[in-house]
A and B are shown apart, each in its own frame.
Chain A
């Protein structure tokens, strides 16, 4: 009961106290927002709202509000009175990380009283964590690190998240003092890829880093190799063998190593080439070490493929290489002590201990031998570095070797002169004077110098010779004078050189040189050179030497000849290229195509369908585009046949329309190098039939060529007939003879007509056919035809077509009709000439000619 009363009293007391404090602490207003966190550099507005009760009590309103930041009054310009109870203040570009903002009022118009206060925090949202990386220290848990970005000035939490494909691991939250790393609390599982990322979060936002996905085995930092030990080899004094125990992770992964070594006293480390330690091992033999030298080693390891991290260095371990025989003989000297005896003298031999790098081991003792003359030999084995012996006054030779466990050093030899030794120094002789200091513990380093008792000029001058001779320069060289002829210190050389007619020029050269270059020489000139060596006492000339500078510098001739040759070659090449491009033209001029009859065949024989020509159609006439051809038509003109018959045949022929091209054939049409256009055909079928029995039949070679090959030049072949005309055509000289004979027999001579497309000038030169034709056709008009030929030749370069046609007409008129018919021929100038065909003359041929690429029956 009593306890209850006490409890009630206590409760009442607490209630009253709390109520009174509440009244006392009840502010007159508040600031909104309460705990603002803003981004640095942004604007901020706070509103102070007063309570009505306070306003009445203190007789204030919002106009009486005063804002203060860190106890400093904010200028009134930043205030805004919203209403009677509220006023705001605005701050622009807030950069202060921590701002104490208070709302105050002037009570009773003069007493400033604090109403409310807040703390404004400013900062930045977290940046995206970068460079996230993890490390797995062997036997420990995985730790990840990252770059958290700029300072946020706010409390920022970093959380490391990790997961497998099938499992999510606990988050790893950073500690405030290490916001850029986190040690996960689970052991990593090797050979399972894990995905890791970081999330950063503060009051202004959150952001996630890039995810990284890796196998923890690729992030391992192994423990260092342990129990490193070093052992040497008695067989080889230059090697040391290291052995160690690999870290336990070696059972999971293969390792590679770095091995550093240095001598005990050195400060810098040398490294074994990494390629020699790139695979798992537990020992390594280091070579090329100095004998009997202490070396210090350390080793570290990492995953063999280079993924992961190097371990820490192992503990240092040292070892000494095995001994080797001393690499150098100890230097020694002697000291002759005063002696009371005249026949003996006390000689003390002194030497220094070898430094470790020459001793190559522990020196066990020294062996000294003393030889008088060559017979008497005394051996001593000494542990000390000096030996005192009593020697006679004779000359002695002393030798000294140092010995260690492996072997002896080379021998040092010392001559102890005889007691009465007196040196006789000569002039002009070079002496090497050596002074060896002798200290209490042995001799010091000797110093030597050369000296002359008295110098003299050299007894012989240097022999100079040329090393290299150029157009305008020459390199001279010489040998140093032997000591025996120097007679003193050679101070300098002087080179004298001159031409036969020129003055001598002298050049001084330092005595240390053995080579000098003479420049500004004249080309193709004989020079004489001699050289003098000088000592302090004078000089001595050497033998004179002559040389001739070449006319041309090296490469000068080549510089001229090569461009000329190149230009010639280029010109030749261009000529060849030109000829190659114009080979068709050249060929036409020099080697006209001669059809090979043996390769000919008759593609189509069309006696029943005479070829049709549309002489009015230019397209048809030139349809194949080949204008280089010449068709030769041989006709036999029968002077007995009246001319009107010829006109009849012409009319008949005009009625024929040659419709086929390319491989048409005609009777009696002889062609050579003609186009694919159809040759002239007989005037009608009957005539053809009749003529076939007695005339040579020619055909045109098919365009398509042999087995579909396109022939380069279209040729005409003929039939297998053995008609005389064919023979004469193949042998024009025979033809000429025969025709002459025929002509003398009263038979009209055969006339050869040319069909030549003259749109291409290169076809024009084939005038020999024409000449031949003229000879055959009319021997008595030979002179006339030659004149015509000359005219045609002159016109070739102008208008071949018209020239040819004119020629053709004149020839035709002269041959076929004779001079008396010239006027009639003129009437047919547009259609050419056709010889009359006598039905009774089976050997006649239907002549044909062409006008502007077409054939015209006449």
Chain B
């Protein structure tokens, strides 16, 4: 009897802690699904604009010539392609975007070091915006009933990320930074595309019911079987 009581107490304690932690984690995630989706769409729209970061970088680094601009192309495979992103489930998509942006943040830090004393305030703005996007992705993941960090995201090509090693000369480092930023803007454009698809296609959004819908007792039928869903390269099941 005593052991039973203890077990019950422990169970209640764990449940309470879980609820508290969930509540604490979701503090600030107040908006409804559509509002959050709208925010993500607009954030992606803002960050895909090259004038927000790439163009200032090009001007600052003296890369504003047609030839150099032509060389400033995205590394193939550095960022997930639009088709790959569109093929992901909502949760996988969010995880992938979250992980990619995490690496973009690291890349921005590297760029900042590369710039040394050349202050590029757009870098800090971009960093804050990316943090904001990740926050919204976190909330969206919660609304969809999952977490943006609990599973492994889609992998990108090996060695495709910004590596500003000491072996690179200054020019190459600048060009690498440019190509990295080019990929970043393109990636955010693709992300915005997918988010807009979420808003335009209700059937697609049913693949993962928002948490608010589940809370209302709405039970959705799973429209696609996991095995038949197009799985992009490197994608891990949810």
Which residue numbers of A lie inside 8 Å of B, CB to CB? 163-167, 186-187, 189-195, 213, 215, 251-252
A165 touches B27 (CB 8 A): yes
Shortest CB-to-CB span from B176 to chain A, Å, is 27
Q: Is the CB of A191 within 8 A of B136?
A: yes
The answer to whether B46 touches A193, judged by C-beta atoms less than 8 angstroms apart, is no
- On whether the beta carbons of B29 and A193 are closer than 8 Å, the reply is yes
Q: For residues 23 through 62 of chain B, which have their beta carbon under 8 Å from a beta carbon of chain A?
A: 25-31, 39-40, 42-43, 46, 49
* Contact indicator B138/A192 (Cβ below 8 Å): no
How many Å lie between the Cα of A186 and that of B125 in the bound state? Answer: 11
* Partner pick for A195 among B28, B129, B132, B133, CB 8 A cutoff: B28
Q: For the complex, is B156 an interface residue (Cβ under 8 Å from A)?
A: no
Among A165, A187, A191, A194, point to the contact of B26 (Cβ < 8 A).
A165
Q: Give min CB distance, B134 to chain A, whole Å.
A: 7
Interface flag for B12 (CB, 8 Å) = no
Give Cα distance in the complex from A164 to B134, angstroms.
11
Q: Say whether B30 contacts A213, CB under 8 Å.
A: yes
A193 touches B31 (CB 8 A): yes
Contact residues in B for A166 (Cβ distance below 8 Å): 28, 131, 134-135, 138
Residues of B within 8 A of A194 (CB): 28
CA distance A165 to B21 in the complex (A): 12
Closest beta carbon of chain A to B232's beta carbon, Å: 26
B39, B49, B134: the one contacting A215 at CB < 8 Å is B39
Report the nearest B residue to A214, measured CB to CB.
B30
Confirm or deny: B128 has a beta carbon within 8 angstroms of a beta carbon on chain A: yes
Question: How distant is the Cα of A215 from the Cα of B135 in the complex, in angstroms?
Answer: 13
A470 to B153, CA, bound (A): 96
Beyond A192-B132, A195-B27, A195-B28, whether A165 also contacts B42 by CB under 8 A is: no
Contact A187 B134 (CB under 8 A): no
- In the complex, the answer to whether A165 meets B135 with C-beta atoms within 8 Å is yes
**Residue contact B135 to A167, C-beta cutoff 8 Å:** yes
Q: In the complex, what residues of B have CB within 8 A of residue A186's CB?
A: 128
- In the complex, which residues of chain B have a beta carbon less than 8 angstroms from the beta carbon of A163? 27-28
Which chain B residues numbered 131 to 154 have a C-beta less than 8 Å away from chain A?
Answer: 131-136, 138-139
Closest chain-A Cβ to B125's Cβ sits at a distance in Å of 7
**In chain B, what residue has the closest Cβ to A252?**
B46
- B135 in complex: contacting residue of A164, A213, A252, CB < 8 Å: A164
Residue of A nearest to B46 (CB): A252
- In the complex, the answer to whether A191 meets B30 with C-beta atoms within 8 Å is no
- Interface SS of chain B: helix
Q: How far is the CB of B66 from chain A (nearest CB, A)?
A: 26
Chain B min CB distance to A164 (Å): 5
> What residues on B are CB-neighbors of A192 within 8 Å?
39, 43, 132-133, 135-136
Contact B129 A165 (CB under 8 A): no
13 further interface pairs, Cβ-Cβ under 8 Å (given A164-B28, A193-B30, A215-B31): A164-B132, A165-B26, A165-B138, A186-B128, A190-B43, A190-B132, A191-B43, A191-B132, A193-B29, A213-B30, A215-B39, A251-B49, A252-B46
| Residue in B27, B49, B138 with the greatest tally of chain A CB atoms within 10 Å | B27
5 A-B contact pairs sorted by A residue (CB < 8 Å): A164-B132, A166-B131, A190-B42, A213-B28, A252-B42
- What separation, in Å, do the CA atoms of A192 and B39 have in the docked complex? 7
Q: How far is the CB of A471 from chain B (nearest CB, A)?
A: 72
Give Cα distance in the complex from A251 to B135, angstroms: 22
- Dominant secondary structure of chain A at its interface with chain B: loop
Chain B interface extent, by class: 20 to 34
Total CB contacts across the A-B interface at under 8 A: 62
Q: How far is the CA of A189 from the CA of B133 in the complex (A)?
A: 10
Q: Which residues of B contact A215 (CB under 8 A)?
A: 31, 39
* B26 surroundings in chain A (CB, below 8 A): 165
Q: Are A189 and B129 in contact (CB under 8 A)?
A: yes
A187:B125 contact, CB within 8 angstroms: yes
Q: What residue of chain B has the Cβ atom nearest to residue A195's Cβ?
A: B28
Q: Which residues of A contact B46 (CB under 8 A)?
A: 190-191, 252
Q: CA of A195 to CA of B27 in the docked complex: distance in angstroms?
A: 8
**Chain A: which residue is nearest B44 at the CB level?**
A191
Q: How far is the CA of A713 from the CA of B3 in the complex (A)?
A: 80
Minimum Cβ distance to chain B for residue A430 (Å): 80
Instruction: Give the chain A neighbours of B135 by CB distance below 8 A.
Output: 164-167, 192
Contact with A along B112-131 (1 / 0, CB 8 A): 00000000000001001101
A187–B30 Cα distance when bound, in Å, is 21
A190 to B44: give the CA distance in the assembly, Å: 12
In the bound assembly, the distance between CA atoms of A33 and B26 in angstroms comes to 46
Instruction: Name the residue in A166, A167, A215, A251 with the highest tally of chain B Cβ atoms < 10 Å from its Cβ.
Output: A166
Q: Nearest chain B CB to A132's CB is how many angstroms away?
A: 15
| Bound CA span A715–B27, Å | 81
Contact yes or no, A165 B29, CB < 8 A: yes
Chain B residues with CB under 8 A of A187: 125, 128
Distance in angstroms from A144 CB to nearest chain B CB is 16
Residue in A167, A190, A213 whose beta carbon sits within 8 Å of that of B131 in the complex: A167
A189 touching B132, Cβ below 8 Å: yes
Q: Which of A164, A191, A193, A213 is B42 in contact with, Cβ under 8 Å? A: A191
* Distance, CA A190 to CA B128, complexed state (A): 10
Q: Which residue of A lies closest to B30 (CB)?
A: A213
Q: Across the interface, which residues of A come within 8 angstroms of B42, CB to CB?
A: 190-191, 252
Which chain A residue lies CB-closest to B36? A193
- CA A193 to CA B30, docked complex, whole Å: 8
State whether A165 touches B25 (Cβ < 8 A).
Answer: yes
In the complex, the chain B residue whose C-beta lies closest to that of A213 is B30
CB of A139, distance to nearest CB on chain B (Å): 11
Residue of B nearest to A165 (CB): B28
Chain A min CB distance to B161 (Å): 23
- What are the residues of chain B within 8 A of A165 when measuring CB–CB? 25-29, 135, 138-139
* Chain B contacts for A195, CB-based, 8 A: 27-28, 30
Q: Which residue of B lies closest to A164 (CB)?
A: B135
| Residues in A neighbouring B28, C-beta threshold 8 A | 163-166, 193-195, 213
Known contacts A166-B135, A215-B39, A189 near B27 by CB under 8 Å: no
The complex places the Cα of A804 from the Cα of B17 at a distance, in Å, of 93
B131: chain A residues at CB < 8 Å are 164, 166-167, 189
9 tightest CB-CB pairs across the interface, nearest first?
Answer: A165-B28, A192-B132, A189-B132, A191-B39, A213-B30, A166-B135, A164-B135, A195-B28, A165-B29
**Once the chains are docked, how many angstroms separate the CA of A191 from the CA of B28?**
13
Contact across chains for B39 and A189 when beta carbons are under 8 A apart: no
B-side contacts of A164, CB under 8 Å: 28, 131-132, 135
Distance in Å: Cβ of B50 to nearest Cβ of chain A? 13
In chain B between 156 and 198, which residues have their CB closer than 8 angstroms to a CB of chain A? none
User: A210 to nearest B CB, angstroms?
Assistant: 13
CA of A213 to CA of B31 in the docked complex: distance in angstroms? Answer: 9
Q: Within 8 Å CB of A251, what residues of B?
A: 49
Q: Find the B residue at minimum CB distance from A192.
A: B132
- CA–CA, A520 and B125, complex, Å: 91
Give the Cβ gap from B102 to chain A, nearest Cβ, in Å: 12
Q: Which residue of A lies closest to B51 (CB)?
A: A251
B132 to chain A, nearest CB (A): 4
- A322 to B112 Cα, complex, angstroms: 56
How many Å from the CB of B89 to the closest CB on chain A? 22
The residue in chain A whose Cβ has the minimal distance to the Cβ of B38 is A191
Smallest CB–CB gap between A142 and chain B, Å? 12
Tell me which residues across on chain B come within 8 A of A191, comparing CB atoms.
Answer: 39-40, 42-43, 46, 132, 136
Q: How far is the CA of A195 from the CA of B25 in the complex (A)?
A: 13
Among residues of A, the one whose C-beta sits closest to the C-beta of B24 is A165
Taking CB atoms, residues of chain A closer than 8 Å to B49 are: 251
Please name the residue on chain A nearest to B40 by beta carbon.
Answer: A191
Residues in chain A near residue B39, CB distance under 8 A? 191-193, 215
Distance of B72 from chain A, by nearest CB (Å): 23
Q: Which chain A residues lie closer than 8 Å to B125 at the CB level? A: 187
Q: How far is the CB of B15 from chain A (nearest CB, A)?
A: 22
Q: How far is the CA of A191 from the CA of B140 in the complex (A)?
A: 13
CA distance in complex: A684, B40 (Å): 99
**Complex Cα spacing A213 to B29, Å:** 9
Min distance, Cβ B189 to any Cβ of chain A, angstroms? 16
Q: Tell me the minimal C-beta distance from B185 to chain A in angstroms.
A: 15
Chain B, residue nearest A186 (CB) = B128
Nearest CB of chain B from residue A600's CB, rounded to whole Å: 61
